[in-house]
Chain A
Amino acid sequence: DAGVTQSPTHLIKTRGQQVTLRCSPKSGHDTVSWYQQALGQGPQFIFQYYEEEERQRGNFPDRFSGHQFPNYSSELNVNALLLGDSALYLCASSLAGGTYGYTFGSGTRLTVV
């Protein structure tokens, strides 16, 4: 049973560029959430997708956008990258409502230079 798969694992981008991160949820899960984790901090909620729609959003600017596809996979897009966007981006999947906890992927380490 495949867990959550994220790609790429590492990425280096220049300020002002755009980036797309990808996530395939655990088999059987239909809900995907994205988190940003700065070094030494807890994960911060970006947004959640269910039935191809953004269901909830955290305190992140509109530069952060996403998408969910019919097969439940998801993308996170960040435009006009800032140095402060450097972080570990985690994808977490769950069944609708996350009633039984979230399964996290290994994350994408984004470095903005």
Chain B
Amino acid sequence: GQQVMQIPQYQHVQEGEDFTTYCNSSTTLSNIQWYKQRPGGHPVFLIQLVKSGEVKKQKRLTFQFGEAKKNSSLHITATQTTDVGTYFCAGPRGSGNTGKLIFGQGTTLQVKP
């Protein structure tokens, strides 16, 4: 079945260092969504990418969607302690944009002050 994989599973960085998490789907995605979950919290929607090769920025966060629409990445520049949490990518099952979201297993980011 359709799978979404993320690497790395864990990442420990020193505050101020950069961080990148990668997301790969076994099938082409109509869109990719990114969520952040703080420890003990719930997933919070960050962004959605739709177009092949799309790049979007939110302050220190840069999101990319691959040309083949099967992979994506999230890059954080100069991490801060507020960036701590688990970052999930998720894509819709099938070719449509409705219903079931398939989540990756997440990348947990720890930032040492």
A interface, CB within 8 angstroms of B? 33, 41-45, 48, 55-56, 58, 88, 90, 92, 96-107
List of A residues within 8 angstroms of B90 by Cβ: 42
Contact partner of A104 among B43, B102, B105, CB < 8 A? Answer: B43
A48's contact among B43, B88, B100, B105, by CB below 8 Å, is which? B100
Asked whether, in the complex, the Cβ of A101 is within 8 Å of the Cβ of B48, the reply is yes
> In the complex, how many residue pairs between chain A and chain B have their CB atoms under 8 Å apart?
62
Give B92's nearest chain A residue, CB to CB.
A98
A48 touches B44 (CB 8 A): no
* Contact between B45 and A102, CB atoms less than 8 A apart: yes
A interface secondary structure, majority: loop
- B68 touches A (CB below 8 Å): no
- What is the minimal beta-carbon distance from A9 to any residue of chain B, in angstroms? 11
Instruction: Tell me whether B33 is interfacial, beta carbon within 8 Å.
Output: yes
State whether A105 and B99 are in contact (beta carbons under 8 Å apart), knowing that A42-B88, A98-B92, A100-B48 are contacts in the complex.
no
With A42-B105, A104-B42 known as contacts, the answer to whether A58 contacts B33 (CB < 8 A) is no
Residue of B93, B96, B98 with highest tally of chain A CB at under 10 A: B98
Cross-chain contact of A98 among B42, B47, B99, B105 (Cβ < 8 A): B99
Chain A contacts of B98 at CB under 8 A?
A: 55-56, 96-98
Contact of B100 among A41, A56, A88, A100 (CB under 8 A): A56
Q: Is the CB of A42 within 8 A of B42?
A: no
Instruction: Provide the B11-45 mask, 1 if CB < 8 A to any CB of A, else 0.
Output: 00000000000000000000001010000011111
- Asked if B103 CB lies within 8 Å of chain A CBs, one says yes
Nearest CB to that of B102 among chain A residues?
A45
B106 within 8 Å of A (CB atoms) = yes
